[in-house]
A = this chain, B = another copy of it.
Amino acid sequence: MPALTNRQVRLKSRPSGIPQAEHFEIVEAPVPELADRQFLVRNEFLSVEPAMRGWVSAVANYADPVAIGEVMRSFSAGTVIASRHPGLAEGDQVMGMLGWQHYAVSDGTNITRKVKETDLPLSLSLGLLGLNGVTAYFGLLEAGAPRPGDTVVVSTAAGAVGSAVGQIARIMGCRTVGLTGGPDKVALCKDAFGYDAAIDYKAGNLADALKAACLRGVDVYFDNTAGAISDAVMSQLAVGARIVICGTASISSWDPPPLGPRVERHILVKRARMTGFLIFDYQHRYEEAIARLAVWVREGRLHYREDIADGLEHCPGAIAELYRGENLGKRLIRLPR
């Protein structure tokens, strides 16, 4: 194989809030020779996630921060193009923490899984059949514990996680109400993801709109935003409500934590339960969820939207774009073959 040149997106400086394009730089680097038990992946799709804000933050979090000068941590999906590893052969498709770069050398420890659903697009392994779908699946079913007939409210309802939550809730026999920003996403929620109601939180009067859409109160709130959106939902809880804290996209900085109305009274009076959900705790059960999700995709019961940008140069600004809500569907970067 001729010597390959890699292009990588590296962390240049540490942001205090949401990472912007200027916090990254694109550099060229040689692809090293493979050692024994290593393999080389040519990345085809790179993921962009809200969680990336946490990965580059210096504030204590559930993973060590990406170091300055290090390749930006990301889930990526690609094809093995050379292998000295006994478990993987040329042509195998893999998904893992392969970083924002064209080529990744791996010994397998940073591989999340070998992609088995080769009848479906590889990009799905970064979205609906990846962490987003698995997060929606376990977050809703385990922490949210939905029952048929429940009213399930989802924030970032048109997003990669939220759209899966809404659809899985419907499959479970729930009524679904999506909260999203702008008329395009409201339409997407209703037309593509089958929400029974979708509310544009930017249109004002969220509390009234929620009340009208959830006449018997909110049984499950799957929360990807926190902030003012959550404040409105908290005042509409039904008795025994379950709140799943999955993300806090509307909070631009947690240092110091912003103020909001205290929630204890809602939690107490409604005997509600608020649970923090982190998908990494479910690593041992990924295949169980993906197998189920893939069946629903093949049956046409689970739909998805992808918003794909071509070329590594789209990476640096992609996290900030995500937080501005500019994407319609799962945000991915596609690399040329």
Contact = CB atoms under 8 A, between A and B. Distances in A.
Interface in A233-249: 245-248
Nearest to A54: B269
Interface stretch (A76-84, A93-101, A274-282): A274-282
A241 B274 CA distance: 12
Contacts of A270: 276
Of the listed residues A260, A262, A277, the one surrounded by the most CB atoms of chain B closer than 10 A to its CB is A262
A41 B290 CA distance: 64
Of the listed residues A256, A260, A269, the one surrounded by the most CB atoms of chain B closer than 10 A to its CB is A269
Nearest to A265: B254
A122 to B, nearest CB: 30
B271 A262 contact: no
A230 interface: yes
A267 B246 CA distance: 9
B271 A274 contact: no
A273 B275 contact: yes
A45 to B, nearest CB: 27
A62 B269 contact: yes
Given A276-B269, A278-B268, A278-B271, A259 B257 contact: no
Contact of A265 (B248, B263, B265, B275): B248
B264 A230 contact: yes
